[in-house]
Structure 1
Amino acid sequence: MTDETLHLRRLRSPIGRIEVVGDGRAVTSLAIERDGMLPHDGEDESGDPVLDRAVAQLEEYFAGTRHDFDVPVDLHGTAFQRAVWEQIVQLQWGEVVSYGDLGQATGRATAGRAVGGAVGANPVPIIVPCHRVLGADGRITGYSGGEGIPTKSWLLEHEGVPHTVPASARPRATDVTAAELDLPADAPAA
């Protein structure tokens, strides 16, 4: 994708700023702020109808009024990565799967590291809900989005999913008000 065809929108969320990128037909990537940075900071926003819909749906998700997404996504990766992502996208709000179960569903029951690598390479987190993948014991083993484990923990708590967080990684959310998210003041707390 060249810079002149880059379509992107940003939004503020309880887990930091989010950047959604697309090609005019589908969402191609989503990044959650890490250490105050997004991949295309400095670039002007240039939305399109798909990105506008994605941003609206993300805002509804963070407000607690949306439990699934219906925007088109275009996922580029290996055949194995795409098979893993296809399994993840089937997960519903509050539903989780283990890395081992994903391996079995994709025909590679003993490929734990490969499954973990595919989950971590997901280019569209939240919309393709890789935060819903946990260790077999309900433990968070990592997360490549945002600030890592605290971001994943926040998303799971938002969806009411019981999980275990390593003591060294406590969840943190940014102080963003409903007004800053352009939500009604009586929107449910996340």
Structure 2
Amino acid sequence: MRADARRNRDHVLAVAGDVISEQGVDVSMRDIARRADVGLATLLRHFPTREALLEALLHTSFHELTARAAELEASQAVEGALVAWVRECVAWTTEYRGVTVLMAAAIEDPESALHVSCTTLRAAGGRLLARAQAEGRARDDIDGDDLFALIAMLAWAGDQPALAPRADRLFAVLTDAVLVDAGDRGGRGAEKPAQPSTRPREPRR
């Protein structure tokens, strides 16, 4: 790609990130082009679909969260690693309002530009969950699909003004339901390590 074309592409991505943070993923491609001061045809030449634009915008974050799962797996106890990774995923997804809906759809659509990144991310979380289950620290009747759905639910709640103040409470309820005392897979939740707040981040400007 020529240097000027790459600069244009990077500019569009930067503007798209700001617009999506402000208005959510349902914002029209035409509005993004207008804010980036480019023609719609130029935008579509770089990113023919909304999913392609989001894949380019979120690719680095997907990669970082996948790598983070491996890092936590190697450095923390099983329940701490799982809780920390889920918390980081929830915090990240609240940066782009509505992205969890597209991610959930992309999981089921192999033709989506987001499909590979989303399934890779889901698999990373599934490994952390399976590790906790193998040591009797997480209930064994859920899988990576369930975990991904729970993350999406928490992120959705964080997007809702009426529910956002309860984000930490809802997160605690979820982790208490997923984690169990060692040797008691059907028992009450294990004590969780203290973690930073899950409250949604302020939109980027």
Does TM-score exceed 0.5, indicating one fold? no
Query: TM-score, normalised to structure 2's length?
Result: 0.30
Task: Kindly name which structure, 1 or 2, has the bigger radius of gyration based on alpha carbons.
Answer: 2
Q: Per residue, is there more strand in 1 or in 2?
A: 1
Query: TM-score, normalised to structure 1's length?
Result: 0.31
Q: Per residue, is there more helix in 1 or in 2?
A: 2
